[in-house]
A and B are shown apart, each in its own frame.
Chain A
């Protein structure tokens, strides 16, 4: 009985936390980037984080990687898998 009371209290906390949480936008295309750049683009390691740039800067970077105007080790190969409109949408998803 005592255990149940404790459990309920924890359950309450969890339930409230769950209700308060906001659903993240479901953008699977954009979230694929997080494998390298971290969840929500908040990179911990050597991969550039997205929060240090504005949406406009990021869009230009991605388009330039895609066209070859900007040098890269790997982003040139990756951005070619998307249209310019898709690249813009990816940035918008992270910058919401």
Chain B
């Protein structure tokens, strides 16, 4: 169902080519830029295209009226924050920047006629298209784990009803129960996410249900910021968290959601709560429009994020293949600016500036214990890579005050990136 606000309708009139309204007042007809997806990548792209090219007609299309952020959703699972804290609307993008916001699902992209089609039956033409749809779960890639199974064993890897479901299960769990998190192999959205989640659920268990345990069954032998997580777990959750790497038979190979069972090669587990984070791919619209390769993600020109498959389409965020940049909200925000800058340069007939991007991610191990990872990226030998000698993770063995400071900065990070993306 498509819902059109007055401002949205105006935007559509302009885009639909009924240009008389704009033509009458002599407004320069700027480029038509359409953005698919209103998460960190899409919202930032829409805003920065409009900042760089004020006369661009920018349309942002998202299936929902609000975006629920994955960052900080682990604090909701731990009962530290309410889900509403994660909700971002598109009001500022529409009202402050004059972006046409369309609440509808994009069902098709035609790269030849350069038209986007929606479930609500609307066709929108574009000169440049930004695709930032995020990921979808690969149902069935883990045997037994389909959408129906996710209603029993939530993934909660897209924030919203899944987050609420997992939180409810944790609340209903008896003191002394076991929680299992099944962590996927690379690549997937938010590399440190499963481990922040384990930490914050452990925080909840320690403070509310101290006889309980949490087991991470991992398809990997190493993970983002692993030394720092392990250091924190030893300090705070030694009796609660157990991490089982792939080498120690940690990889979940099959689940039976109805029976409540997870299986590895040699063991069966029947926990009180199972959080299964399955393998992922670029979201369905990226696959349907032929933007992805065999990897299930979308190859792009590392300098501009323009698809190497379809011209004038830029794929950013978790859906794209961005070299060494991790799939994170901050990466998506930073990539959106690279794409917006490239689009502005192309429209003006200039050469895009050299690619430059940052990723910064904070993870909370407790409300007053934060750690971070940062990377500064450029294109080196044709690939996006971290600049040598820069970036990296927080120091090991840092005193409490340092961890506390980074926890405060984690909140500052969230305020900053939400303002920069949607505000």
Contact = CB atoms under 8 A, between A and B. Distances in A.
Sorted nearest first, the 5 A-B pairs with minimum C-beta distance are: A81-B376, A46-B412, A45-B415, A81-B390, A45-B412
Interface stretch (B116-124, B173-181, B220-228, B331-339): B331-339
A69 interface: no
B9 A78 contact: no
B358 A78 contact: yes
Interface of A: 6-8, 10-12, 14-19, 21-24, 26-29, 31-39, 43-47, 73-74, 77-82
B360 interface: yes
Contact of A7 (B10, B386, B423): B10
Interface in B391-415: 391-392, 394, 402, 405-406, 408-409, 411-415
27 contacts: A10-B6, A11-B21, A12-B25, A14-B7, A14-B98, A15-B22, A15-B27, A18-B98, A19-B27, A21-B54, A26-B344, A28-B337, A28-B341, A28-B357, A32-B337, A34-B420, A38-B416, A38-B420, A39-B423, A45-B413, A47-B409, A74-B394, A74-B406, A80-B387, A80-B390, A81-B390, A81-B391
Nearest to A90: B356
Interface centre among A14, A28, A36, A77 (most CB of B within 10 A): A28
Given A22-B54, A77-B390, 8 more contacts: A7-B10, A14-B7, A23-B53, A33-B358, A43-B415, A45-B413, A73-B406, A80-B391
Contacts, number: 156
B53 to A, nearest CB: 7
- Dominant SS at the B interface? helix
A28 B10 CA distance: 30
Interface of B: 6-7, 9-11, 13-14, 21-22, 24-25, 27-28, 30, 47-48, 51-55, 98, 330, 333-334, 337-338, 340-341, 344-345, 353, 355-358, 360, 372, 374-376, 386-387, 389-392, 394, 402, 405-406, 408-409, 411-417, 419-420, 423
B333 A35 contact: yes
A18 B55 contact: yes
Contacts of B14: 11
Contact of A44 (B334, B353, B392, B419): B419
B53 A36 contact: no
Contacts of A37: 416
A39 to B, nearest CB: 5
Given A14-B98, A78-B374, A78-B391, A73 B402 contact: yes
B237 to A, nearest CB: 23
A8 B18 CA distance: 10
A17 B411 CA distance: 34
